[in-house]
Amino acid sequence: MTAIRHRAPAILGATLIIFLPLTAPAEPQNSKIQPDSVEMKNGNSFRGLILKNDADSVLIQMEKSEIEIPKSKIRRIHDNPDPDIAYYKITAAGELPEWRAMVMDMRENDSIHSFRQIPATTIDSGIFKNIPYLSFRVNKLAEFNVYGPPNDPVGVEFGVYGRRKNSEKFQQIIRQFIAGHLNSRKEIATLYSLSLHGGKQQVGSLVLEITPPQHADAYGGWWISIYDPKRAEAARVSDAEYAAVTRPFDQIARRNGSLRKRNVEKEKSWLAANVEKLTGAPPKSDGFYRDREGVLRIQNSNSGQNSRN
């Protein structure tokens, strides 16, 4: 039987994060934050979190990669029974969580079948104009954007296109997800005070905003955003710099928000350069997907995996 390791969700005051291999952070000095290890017959070893351990292989996630190892090559497995041991980061009031904190929670959500980086599209008006950002497609018609430095963002937002953009149930799910990454009760209360049909409120240094599909800046989607307006102003770049890291919306998506057919292999180096520019490290992957058993797999540009929802 397949064994899948689950980690606790984010909680108020402490955000549990996992180092998704979209970036390559430095190796930790304290091995206690990586509770599991696999010893190979050739003398090598791998340390991280075991996500799956079945009769044929072990799937282990490390900070820099995720690897599936055949049991025939393994000498010994050290599987710590306490999965809540790893990757904590405190997010203070008035701060936005690291992108990886939100990605980790998406990985834990069974309704999310795929998460993949896509080219950031040009934003020519509004608070996010000319701010470099990383963009990810969640399933087929939802989007997650991180503005400015991903490890210390100036803004984050979720959007949804298609028929679900008008679904209050789906909008409430997105709002609930974001609320789980806010630190103060006042921030959470303000988020829930906003009408799902649109609105904006400021709490301390942060602005919480809901943008309806009919808004000029919505590109036909429904959006919920959190940003620091002062830091956003400081994060803007010149038109030339911005044009180098974004693509026109109609080159990437159709009017209904669905993605156009793309030359993924051709895009790969362009996307990788943008990730490295914003994170300071080359990407190891462009997302993840769930296989037929529901096991999370790191996805690369050659995987050919598509969303199922």
Architecture of the domain defined by 15-85: Roll (2.30)
pLDDT of residue 122: 95
Virtual torsion, Cα 268, 269, 272, 277, nearest 10 deg: -150
- List residues bridging with 137 in a β-sheet: 116, 143
pLDDT of residue 19: 34
- The pTM (predicted TM-score) of the whole model is 0.70
pLDDT of residue 273: 85
pLDDT tens, residue by residue, 168-200: 999 998 999 899 888 788 999 999 999 999 999
CB 164 within 8 A of CB 146: no
* Backbone CA torsion sign across 154, 203, 183, 197: negative
pLDDT tens, residue by residue, 251-299: 999 988 899 987 767 788 888 888 888 888 777 667 777 777 766 676 6
pLDDT of residue 249: 92
pLDDT under 50 in the chain at which residues? 1-33, 82-88, 301-309
pLDDT of residue 94: 78
- Map out the domains of the chain as residue ranges: 15-85, 94-279
**Apex CA 135: angle with CA 132 and CA 136, to 5°?**
165
CB 121 within 8 A of CB 135: yes
